[in-house]
Amino acid sequence: MTVARGGRLKNDPSAAMQALNTSVDVDQRLWREDIRGSIAHAQGLARAGVISKEDAVTLERGLKQVASEIEQGTFAWDASKEDVHMNIEARLTEIVGAVGGKLHTGRSRNDQVATDLRLWVRAEATSVLQEIQNLAQAIVARAQGEIETLMPAYTHLQRAQPSRLSHHLLAWQELLFRDHQRLLDALVRLNECPLGSGAVAGTGFPLDRVAVAKDLGFTGPTRNSIDATGSRDFLMEVAASLAILGVHLSRIGEELVIWSSLEFGFVALSDQYSTSSSMMPQKKNPDVAELIRGKAARAIGDLTSLLVLEKSLAFGYGRELQEDKVPIFSLIDGALVSLRALAGAIATLTFNADKMRAALNQGHLCATDLADFLVRKGMPFRQAHHLVGELVRAAESKGVQLHELDDATLSAASVLLSDARSSGAFDPALAVERRDLFGGPARKQVLLQIDDALKRWKENAVLVKSKLGAG
């Protein structure tokens, strides 16, 4: 007879039902939170006078012993006891005797697992926040070091306008900054305690839900027992934040793949973050970036699983919610492993500044600046755009770059262009410096953004503490 079946069911479950029913191989990961929640619940029961102080002390001692057995690896997880909750309660009762049976007073596994999950996600996602910050800081450090490195900015992956590497790196950083805010925001919202909600409609015992919530580092108790036990949007929000983060890491990964190709040659990954081939001796592959793209694919699937899991759930707990754990565990694991590897790869890679600078000389990158030059002389932009477009076509047919056209051709196109070259309209370095406006790539602006980024990340660290407390 299994623990979770009680007296209602006479016969054991079929093997097929047991295989479907059991989740302990997955949810045993929640054991720390489960024991922490149980200790707070036992103390709450005693404070409310539902169990004696001595019983609470006994339960706490027993739960701590269970914890140390699990920690030491001597705990025997038993699939027939369904899940982490029943496994721990069963062992507790072996240790402390019948008093172990008092622990579940006024509680259901429905409010228990909802509490465990919130505790677990809060702790693990706080590590993700830290790793996002670490990666962002690694990127900002590279931006500082590469402040003089010029490179093209791309649209459609075609060279578009002259820019600087540190400006590009700060674009990566901006994504991460928003990822951090989004995840923190989700964590603040989930930081409420379901205990006391019972199976669905609370409990008749006079539990002090506020005190238990406080014991567990929550800001307060959840406000509705039906919602608290049967909703997982707190997981969806974290999952959505992590899936978006995954997409962002994947985009950065994609750039590293492209940039490390022989065709681009903008970066060389360090050996530490490269792999070779089992067949081709010459190979140095950017697997770090490709695996991160792969983790993002999983993250998107995990988010989808969580969304679909709940879409047809009537109010109140449904057993399919048990399937929420695999995706959220996978999301957190994927985020942590990706963030750490990417931070290391970025900190140790080498940028090829010469290659990046050289890329500015092919692709008529000064076309916009030449049009702007004409605009400054009074020509309407649309007309200037057309004129320069024709010059690019002329350059292409001659097999030269826009800046290589001779002065006679330029003057023939417009007298206004006679001093274009001497005025620096073709100089990519000057073109970057002309983009001297907030959010632009001029040296001064990028230095400003670097300072601002450092300041914002410092503030973020404080924000996490103030919003989530000690946990």
The residue type found at 244 is I
Closest distance to ligand ARG from the beta carbon of 233 (Å): 16
Q: Which of 80, 115, 225, 322 binds ligand ARG (CB under 6 A)?
A: 322
Helix (H, G, I), strand (E, B) or coil at 350: strand
Q: Where are the beta strands (DSSP E) in 17-164?
A: 150-155, 158-164
Of the listed 14, 52, 261, 277, which one is catalytic? 277
Considering the rule CB under 6 A, would residue 367 count as an interface residue with ligand ARG? no
- Contact window for ligand ARG (CB under 6 A) among 10-18, 106-114, 258-266, 429-437: 106-114
Dihedral sign for Cα atoms in the order 285, 130, 230, 80:
positive
Name which of 380, 385, 384, 410 is nearest 395 in CA terms: 410
Closest distance to ligand ARG from the beta carbon of 114 (Å): 8
Q: Is 156 a catalytic residue?
A: yes
Name which of 236, 339, 251 is nearest 293 in CA terms: 251
Q: Is 277 a catalytic residue?
A: yes
Taking residues 439 to 468 in sequence order and writing x for each that binds ligand ARG by CB under 6 A, - otherwise, the string is ------------------------------
Considering the rule CB under 6 A, would residue 30 count as an interface residue with ligand ARG? no
Considering the rule CB under 6 A, would residue 328 count as an interface residue with ligand ARG? no
Instruction: Give the residue carrying structure tokens 């399919």.
Output: 320
- Contact window for ligand ARG (CB under 6 A) among 181-189, 315-323, 343-351, 402-410: 315-323
Considering the rule CB under 6 A, would residue 295 count as an interface residue with ligand ARG? no
Helix (H, G, I), strand (E, B) or coil at 223: coil
Q: Which is nearer to ligand ARG, 5 or 421 (CB)?
A: 5
Considering the rule CB under 6 A, would residue 110 count as an interface residue with ligand ARG? yes
Considering the rule CB under 6 A, would residue 135 count as an interface residue with ligand ARG? no
- Contact window for ligand ARG (CB under 6 A) among 61-69, 105-113, 147-155, 332-340: 105-113
Name which of 349, 373, 35 is nearest 165 in CA terms: 349
Considering the rule CB under 6 A, would residue 113 count as an interface residue with ligand ARG? yes
Residues 6+ apart with CB under 8 A from 302: 239, 242, 243, 326, 327, 328, 330, 331, 334
Measured distance CA(310)–CA(306) in Å, rounded: 7
Contact 203, 196 (CB under 8 A): yes
Residues engaged in binding ligand ARG (CB under 6 A): 23, 27, 83, 109-110, 113, 317, 319, 321-322
